[in-house]
A and B are shown apart, each in its own frame.
Chain A
């Protein structure tokens, strides 16, 4: 079943066509890699998918409904969560509080009910806290609850952002270069985490530069170059593709 369908997606910035007539789909339960050299338009695609940017043209369909004219919070409510290439944690909050904010879409309690000390509110708050704790443990940050988010080492901050996004229980998780700045040990933790998410049926669109991560976890890969899609296929197909090798893999040599 197709969860996300992107059709002719285009975004211009002045004269620059950052995303140029890109089409692809992501099936439910799939892990799709979105790769390409720096400036290829990957982050712009994610910004378009989450409503932070409006497409110049093209369509985004999620669960059969159009997303491309919705505000970011409605898109999130529809089931899309993301992380950021340049980590954007809530700096003044603890690791646990960052994840608790992520449960916003999974909680209901009104402030009026809290003023009245309604038992249902207390129960919901305790549940949100437990959910957040479990997610921190899941990304190996169980001992970091009370630490200020931005005091954590880089790799831990990246995992904390993933935990915060997961707290919304999204149908589609968008990860923008989650391995950037990680050492090999942290990268192994990340790969194991993404695999365990896949085993639970989590759908992921993964932007990543690191080929070990991309080849290790993706079912399918979409390759962008100068805003255009130049290839699409399984990791094995992509690693043999001539255009991709010249445009992307060749660049790394």
Chain B
């Protein structure tokens, strides 16, 4: 029911949503995903156009380099908590933008156009399958429990023997890998990239996927990404077209803002909370036993 490019964009955005899910699952409000996406996109484009690397090698590089940058950036910045980490990681995006604008290989403020189309649907399907598998297997794993403990109470997690620095770094690095992957695939799909594509707006969009979908489960952000990508298209194509002239642009931003607000007000745990288990009040134990059973 959607055009090809919308379906492809859904897959890319779902990858980005899973990228931010990994850090949120570990309690870290990082907004570096857009920047890592930019690194993947630019590195990929340059390696394809200037170095003539085969596409598989380009993808590998566009995944690994953001991971390395994540290690360097993560070690100092993951000490920051909450909104301070968010600001610091947004700063990374600004630094990246300045670097890209001033390098010759990256085409300056104009960006790079005419990147050959190399991403096929099976690339997207495979990437998304890998990302979904990774995030699905996280729940219930030793590392997944460590992530949850850190998200709930980092201090307590530490006194339970969890190396919180290590796990936060792992979450940040895996998150960077998925973002880099999304970046390189998107660049080789839509052919043109500019420095502005990976700034504040993109960072907030990615966060919006997770907030709207809900980050209690990996399905939430993926769902949020698919819905928010589809929505403008739906509105463009139905009767509403006659009521408002729905062009992509500020209307999309406006719409995302309204949805974000509604979800935060009425569904604070996101759309996915409509489907997941609700906690029941425990019934009082029949009688409080007076002795402790031996085990």
Does B associate with A?
yes
Chain A residues in contact with chain B, CB under 8 A? 50-52, 71-73, 75-77, 81-82, 84, 88, 90-93, 97, 100-102, 104-105, 107-111, 114-115, 121, 124-125, 134, 137-140, 143-144, 147-148, 151-153, 164-165, 168, 185-186, 188-189, 192-193, 196
Q: Report whether B148 and A71 are in contact in the complex, using a CB–CB cutoff of 8 Å.
A: no
Knowing A52-B155, A101-B149, A192-B291, the reply to whether A81 touches B160 (Cβ < 8 A) is: yes
Chain B residues in contact with chain A, CB under 8 A? 133-134, 137-138, 140-143, 145-146, 148-149, 151-153, 155-164, 279-282, 284-285, 288-295
- The distance in angstroms between the C-alpha atoms of A44 and B134, with both chains bound, is 41
- Name 16 A/B residue pairs within 8 A (Cβ), A-sorted: A76-B159, A76-B160, A77-B161, A90-B152, A90-B156, A93-B148, A101-B162, A102-B160, A111-B138, A111-B141, A121-B141, A151-B279, A151-B281, A151-B282, A153-B284, A192-B292
Please indicate the chain B residues that have their CB under 8 angstroms from the CB of A140 in the complex. Answer: 288-289, 292-293
Q: Report whether A111 and B161 are in contact in the complex, using a CB–CB cutoff of 8 Å.
A: no
Q: Report whether B292 and A147 are in contact in the complex, using a CB–CB cutoff of 8 Å.
A: no
Identity of the chain B residue whose Cβ is nearest the Cβ of A117 in the assembled complex: B137
Distance in angstroms from B276 CB to nearest chain A CB is 12
| Top 3 A-B pairs, shortest CB-CB distance | A76-B161, A90-B152, A72-B158
Q: Report whether B288 and A73 are in contact in the complex, using a CB–CB cutoff of 8 Å.
A: no
Identity of the chain B residue whose Cβ is nearest the Cβ of A186 in the assembled complex: B288
Q: Report whether A73 and B153 are in contact in the complex, using a CB–CB cutoff of 8 Å.
A: no
- The distance in angstroms between the C-alpha atoms of A192 and B294, with both chains bound, is 10
Tell me if A's interface is mostly helix, strand, loop or mixed.
helix
Q: Report whether A50 and B137 are in contact in the complex, using a CB–CB cutoff of 8 Å.
A: no
Please indicate the chain B residues that have their CB under 8 angstroms from the CB of A88 in the complex. Answer: 153, 155-156
Distance in angstroms from B23 CB to nearest chain A CB is 16
Q: Report whether B148 and A97 are in contact in the complex, using a CB–CB cutoff of 8 Å.
A: yes
Please indicate the chain A residues that have their CB under 8 angstroms from the CB of B148 in the complex. Answer: 90, 92-93, 97, 101
- The distance in angstroms between the C-alpha atoms of A116 and B140, with both chains bound, is 14
Q: Report whether B294 and A196 are in contact in the complex, using a CB–CB cutoff of 8 Å.
A: yes
Q: Report whether A115 and B137 are in contact in the complex, using a CB–CB cutoff of 8 Å.
A: yes
Identity of the chain B residue whose Cβ is nearest the Cβ of A143 in the assembled complex: B285
Q: Report whether B137 and A101 are in contact in the complex, using a CB–CB cutoff of 8 Å.
A: no
Please indicate the chain A residues that have their CB under 8 angstroms from the CB of B288 in the complex. Answer: 140, 185-186, 189
